[in-house]
Structure 1
Amino acid sequence: MLLVVALQLTSCGSAKKSSYFNEVGNNTFASYYEPLEPILQKNDLLSINITSLNAEVTEMFNIANNVGGIQTPGYLIDQDGFIRFPVLGKIAVAGLTKKELREYIREELISKRLLMEPIVDIRFMNFKVSVLGEVNQPAVFTIPNEKVTLLEALGMAGDMTIYAQRNNVLLISEEDGIKSTRRIDLTSDELFTSPNYYLQPNDIVYVQPNDRKVRNTSNATQWFSVILGSLSLAVISIASF
Structure 2
Amino acid sequence: MKKKIPFLVIASLILFSCSKRNLVYFNDLDATNGYSSPITTLSEPRIQEDDLLSITVTSLNPESNLLFNAGVIMPSQGNFNTNVSSPINENYLVDKDGFINYPVIGKINLRGLTKQEGIVKITQLLDEYVKNPIINIRFMNFKVTVIGEVQQPSSFIIPTEKITILEALGLAGDMTAYGKRENVLVIREKDGIRSANRLNLNDKAVLDSPFYYLQQNDVVYVEPYKTKALQADNNPRTFALLSTGLTLAVVLVLNFNNIF
Tell me the TM-score normalized by structure 1: 0.77
Residue by residue, what CA displacement relative to the aligned partner does 1:145-164 show, whole Å, maximum 9, x if unpaired?
21111011101111101001
Aligned counterpart, 2:25: 20
Aligned counterpart, 2:99: 82
Aligned counterpart, 1:172: 187
State the identity as a percent. Answer: 47
Residue by residue, what CA displacement relative to the aligned partner does 1:116-165 show, whole Å, maximum 9, x if unpaired?
22111111111111101111111111111211110111011111010010
Residue by residue, what CA displacement relative to the aligned partner does 1:51-98 show, whole Å, maximum 9, x if unpaired?
12223322211117xxxxxxx940011223211111221111122222
Q: Which stretch shows the higher mean deviation, 21-30 or 185-194?
A: 21-30
Aligned counterpart, 2:225: 210
Aligned counterpart, 1:37: 44
> Any stretches of 5+ residues in structure 2 without a counterpart?
1-8, 72-88, 241-260
More helix by share: 1
Aligned counterpart, 1:98: 115
Structure label with greater radius of gyration: 2
1:1-241, aligned counterparts within 5 Å? 14=20, 17-25=22-30, 26-32=34-40, 34=42, 36-63=43-70, 73-110=90-127, 112=128, 114-218=129-233, 221-222=235-236
Q: 1:132 to 1:39 in 2, by over 3 A?
A: same
CA separation in 2, counterparts of 1:125 and 1:135?
A: 25
CA separation in 2, counterparts of 1:135 and 1:222?
A: 27
Q: 1:216 to 1:47 in 2, by over 3 A?
A: same
CA separation in 2, counterparts of 1:104 and 1:39?
A: 14
CA separation in 1, counterparts of 2:50 and 2:184?
A: 27
The alpha carbon displacement at 1:192 in A equals: 1.2
CA separation in 2, counterparts of 1:222 and 1:214?
A: 14
> What secondary structure is seen at the aligned counterpart in 1 of 2:25?
coil
The alpha carbon displacement at 1:33 in A equals: 5.6
Contact conserved, 2:41 with 2:209, CA < 8 A, in 1?
A: no
Q: 1:183 to 1:225 in 2, by over 3 A?
A: closer
CA separation in 2, counterparts of 1:55 and 1:169?
A: 51
CA separation in 2, counterparts of 1:95 and 1:187?
A: 33
> What secondary structure is seen at the aligned counterpart in 1 of 2:97?
coil
Residue by residue, what CA displacement relative to the aligned partner does 1:164-189 show, whole Å, maximum 9, x if unpaired?
10000000000132100001000010
Tell me the TM-score normalized by structure 2: 0.72
Residue by residue, what CA displacement relative to the aligned partner does 1:13-46 show, whole Å, maximum 9, x if unpaired?
936x112110113111222465x22221221110
Contact conserved, 1:32 with 1:198, CA < 8 A, in 2?
A: no
CA separation in 2, counterparts of 1:117 and 1:24?
A: 51
